[in-house]
Structure 1
Amino acid sequence: MHPARCARRTFEQTVQLLELFFHREGRAPTVRETIRVGGDTVNLGAWLAKARTKHRTGQLPDNHARLIAALKPRWRRCVRWRSAARIRR
């Protein structure tokens, strides 16, 4: 018998976790990066990669697409900052 699993997080809740991650870490999560939230492990990196792919191909519902589009400047800023740091080395 498997232990009872908690209810899945909503798309909006995961976006909020991702925003908190951007704020705290100042970067986008790596693909295999996880965080612990309320005793659960959340794989934010893989979630973001999947959401970005679905966003690019137009497979997200409008309300989800708007949330991902709102995140774009945040992760672009993080990627630009990391790229600039690599160039300076």
Structure 2
Amino acid sequence: MGLNVLFFFSGFFIANIIDTTLGLLYNIPFVSATCIVFFFEEFSKIYYRSLNRKPFRALQSINDIMELLDRVNFTKMGIIYGLLVDAFKLGS
């Protein structure tokens, strides 16, 4: 559980980096935002489809892959949370 919190907050930090970097790109903010959303949606599709394959979870290699996917999912949630917090800061 503690490692998941670390990945969540590392995603929060990555979101601050992404937000700062996208602020420097004056010409293509919509393209970069579209790429971020596309990445999140594709990863979510892979992650939630892999959760449905429970009969194969007994294999060690599958468990390692699921652990990696869990960590990337916590990082993704941290990035989304960080981007929402930055949006609220900019909106106020």
- Normalising TM by the smaller chain, what interval? 0.3 to 0.5
Query: Taking CA–CA contacts closer than 8 Å with sequence separation of 6 or more, which of the two structures ends up with the larger relative contact order?
Result: 2
With normalisation by structure 2, the TM-score equals 0.40
With normalisation by structure 1, the TM-score equals 0.41
Structure richer in strand, relative to its length? 1
